[in-house]
Amino acid sequence: MATLLRKIGLIRLHNRDTEDPKHHHNHRGGGGQQSASLRGKGGAKSGGHKQQQQHPPGGAGDASPGPGKGKGKRAAELAPRDKPPQPAAGAAGAAGGGGPERAAGARAGPSPAAAAAAAAGGSLVPAARQQHCTQVRSRRLMKELQDIARLSDRFISVELVDESLFDWNVKLHQVDKDSVLWQDMKETNTEFILLNLTFPDNFPFSPPFMRVLSPRLENGYVLDGGAICMELLTPRGWSSAYTVEAVMRQFAASLVKGQGRICRKAGKSKKSFSRKEAEATFKSLVKTHEKYGWVTPPVSDG
C-alpha cells in the first residue's frame, strides 16, 4: 500500500514537470501582458497626437485618421467661431496701398503738407462766414434802397457816403405838421433833418448806428453829439424785421413826442455834432437803460 501511494505521488510529480511550460508562463504572466498591452496602446495614442502636431490634418501621408486627429480637426473647425483671424501686418499695409512704410507714416502722424492744408482750411471758416454776412447785408440794403426810392410821399431820401453801400446819409423831409418842430423848420428854412446811418457787418441782425448831423436839435430824445435815445436802436430792442423806413418814421414820431426844437441860441446853434461824442453818449445811455430799464409810454400818448 505504501509502495502504491509512492508510485501515485511520483506519477503526479512527473505529470507536473512534463506539462507545457508555455501554459504555465501564460497563466503566470497574463496580468503583466495585459498591462504591457495597455501601455502599448497609450504609447500609440501619444505617438499619434505628436504626429498630428507635426503634420496637419488632411496633409500628405495621413492614410487613416489616428486617435488624436479627430479632436484636432474638431478644434480647428471651432477656432474661427471663437476668434476671427487676424490679418498679418504686411497684408494690412499692402491693402492700405502703402505697405509697411505707409503704416509707419500713419503712426508718425500727418505729413507737413497735410498739416498745412488743415491749418489753411481752418482759417477759411471765418473768411467764408464773413463773406456770407457781407452778402446778406448787401442784399438787404439794396432792397431797402429800392423800397425807399418807390416811396410816394417822399418821406425820406438817401445818399451814399463816398459811394459806400454801408454808410448812408438820410434826409428826413417831413414831421408832424402840427408840431412846433415843423414850425421851426419853416421859420428857419430847414428843408430836412439830416441823419447818418452806418450798418455793421452783421446787419440786419444788429441795429445800425444812427445819429443826427444837422440842424442842431434840442430835446426830442436827441442827446449830446446827435445820439438818439431809442430802444429799438439797441441790441436788446432791435429786430431784423425792422426796415430803415420804419426806423425813420419812429424817429420822426419821437422828435414830436419829445418836444424837439431847432436850437436857435447864438453860437451853440452853429456847433455841429461829432461822431465821437455821439458814440460815447449812446454807449452811456445804453448802460443806464440796461440797469434801470426802458420806460414804456401809455397807449394814450401814442
Asked if 133 is an active-site residue, the reply is no
| Pairwise CA distance, residues 254 & 249, whole Å | 9
Which secondary structure element, helix H or strand E, spans residue 107, and what is its range? helix 99-108
| Pairwise CA distance, residues 114 & 122, whole Å | 12
Helix axes 69-82, 21-54, angle to 10 degrees: 30
- Ordered alpha helix ranges (H), 150-179: none
* Nearest CA among 215, 221, 213, 222 for reference residue 264: 215
Strands 156-161 and 164-172: antiparallel
| % helix, strand, coil for the chain, step of 5 | 55, 10, 30
- Specify whether the CB–CB gap between 156 and 148 falls below 8 A: yes
The strand pairing partners of 228, in sequence order, are: 222
Cell 453860437, residue located:
267
Q: How many CA atoms lie within 13 A of 122 on its CB side?
A: 6
Residue type, 167: D
Of 175, 185, 228, 229, the active-site residue reads 229
Active site amino acids: 229
